[in-house]
Amino acid sequence: MKTPRGLIILSVFSLINLGFSLLSTLGSLIIGKPDEGTLKEADLELKKQAIEYKKLQLDYAAELLEKFNQMNGAFMDAYYAYNIVLFLILSIGVAGVILMLKRNKLGFHLYITYSILGIGHLYLFAAPSIIPTPLIVISLLFSGLFIFLYSRFLPWMNLDEV
């Protein structure tokens, strides 16, 4: 039986996203941690933007920006560990998609694992109080959507035909 067109489309979207993320993470590992001057400059720029938001009475946006800035600082403190963990999580996602295309149901379980770890790894490197709630909610929604869409093809993965 042929691979369902919907699964192919979904897999292509996933592999494009995962591929770019893997390349970006690998590039970060190769290039190394930005120097302190660059980090301070970026920090200052975000703080200026937060002040501008407060002037416009966009307090929630300013708070969100401050949390992203703090979270980024936490990730920079553990730069190599963060990027290595992220690379491994993304690799699990790629393996899951490829296995699903090969009709192996283990790929679906790996994809669920990737989705959970993709959100959970943030808490390994940053305090829960500085992780913006909208980031978690949006990530959960997209992960849930993709898991649901992949689950539609589980019957095809269970077929014994080769």
pLDDT in tens, 45-74: 888 888 888 888 888 888 888 888 889 889
Q: Is residue 71 part of a domain?
A: no
Q: Is residue 38 part of a domain?
A: no
Q: How far apart are the first and last CA of the chain?
A: 7
Q: Is residue 10 part of a domain?
A: yes
Show the domain range for 126: 5-33+79-158
Q: Is residue 28 part of a domain?
A: yes
* Domain count within the chain: 1
The pTM of this model reads 0.86
Q: Is residue 93 part of a domain?
A: yes
Residue 159, pLDDT score? 67
Q: Is residue 12 part of a domain?
A: yes
d(CA 142, CA 43): 29
Question: What burial letters (b/e) apply to 32-64, b meaning 16+ CB within 10 Å?
Answer: eeeeeeeeeeeeeebeeebeebeeeeeeeebeb
**Residue 122: other Cβ atoms inside 10 A:** 21
